[in-house]
Amino acid sequence: MKTSALLIGINNYKRLPLQGCVNDVRAMFEALTERHSIGPGDTYTLLDGQATRAGILQGLQWLAVEGPDVAIVLFSGHGTRVPDLDGDEARGWSGTKYDQAIVPVDYERNGLILDDDLAAVFWTFPRETKLILILDSC
């Protein structure tokens, strides 16, 4: 059984830096490679300045092309929500519809990665791939 992982950790946001996100990625990498025998070549790691919108989407595409039996995505960084523009979200308790988003390091210049963007990439994975998505973000 082949397992591949995309590990993303961002501490160095310009406006609201975080602590611990890069350590989360390092700990997950260690757990996967040392305890679960996943080869370093089966992981794609993006830390701080590497975790741009384009870099994250490229990493997701790499993971899909790998075609693993199990695909793990860890994102440790800021998350947010924005008003739903395409009407595909259910109304929340406030009556407003929102898209959820992860925040790449270059979000101010290149935008967020919406749940719709993630879904579009996830549909490119082989049908048999088990996808494990871990979002450590607010």
User: Could you say which of 78, 103, 107, 117 is catalytic?
Assistant: 78
138 is catalytic: yes
Are residues 23 and 90 in contact, defined by beta-carbon separation less than 8 angstroms? no
User: Could you say which of 1, 16, 90, 138 is catalytic?
Assistant: 138
78 is catalytic: yes
Q: Please give the Cα distance from 12 to 78 (Å, whole number).
A: 11
Q: Please give the Cα distance from 18 to 20 (Å, whole number).
A: 7
Strand order in the sheet with 113-114: 79-83, 98-102, 113-114
CA distances from 53 to 11, 14, 63, 97 (A): 15, 15, 16, 23
Q: Show which residues are catalytic.
A: 78, 138
